[in-house]
Amino acid sequence: MAGLILETRGLKKYYRKQPVVNNVSLRVPRNSIYGLLGPNGAGKSTILKMVTGLIRPDEGEIIVFGEPWSRRHLKRIGALIESPAFYGNLTVFENLLLHARLIGLSKESIYNVLEIVELEDVSKKVASQLSLGMKQRLGIAIALLGNPEILILDEPTNGLDPIGIQELRKLILSFPEKGITVILSSHILTEISQTVNHVGIMSNGELKFQGAIKRSENLEELFMEVVKG
């Protein structure tokens, strides 16, 4: 299918012989904001971990950038899975510098991501002193190092206050115009409905619905209809 940046075909993952991801075929259009939705335990995080190479699928395949998935594609994928990974005793800038050096990037690349996530004014602040929303943006800044074409965010609004959620939404909505496709998982429908333009709805490890949506649509109604069947 033309225009897809990521596709999974019949993806399966078992834990203790029980399927936690069962025959999932995602289709993520390029430059979309794709919401992977579902109750806790539906298999969302497991899928994202397979796409980012943290775990391997037991069956099925992942097609990314039009090619079968391989580790060389990871340089084109940024991810924030679960909590942001940074050193609390280092400044924002030092954390970014450390990650930049690990992947062979220059110091100049840091200034670009600081501007994107709007953390220039706190770049000299120790990371442990940041608000939760700023910590989340630091995690996204780290994921943006290397100019990825896909950005994966797992439950990015967890624990954020309304201001932090609003700031994060504004940031996420800016990515497609920068050529970045966003895939984010969440179970908070009210927030997701204002952000995504494509959704996949998971329940009990299976993909129950997938398609384009308008931000004016009642996503909660669709979700309940799909999940409750």
- Residues 27-46 pLDDT 10s: 999 999 999 999 888 999 99
pLDDT tens for each residue of 156-193 = 888 788 888 888 899 999 999 999 999 999 877 887 88
pTM (predicted TM-score): 0.91
Average pLDDT over residues 66-94: 92
Instruction: Quote the pLDDT of residue 163.
Output: 87
Length in residues, the chain = 229
In the chain, what are the domains? 4-228 (3.40.50.300)
Sorting pLDDT into bands at 50, 70 and 90, what band is 139?
very high
77 bridge partner residues: 150
Counts of helices then strands in the chain (DSSP H, E): 7, 11
Closest CA to 34 of 219, 196, 211, 214: 196
State pLDDT tens for residues 211-220.
Answer: 999 876 788 8
Give the pLDDT score at 1.
Answer: 42
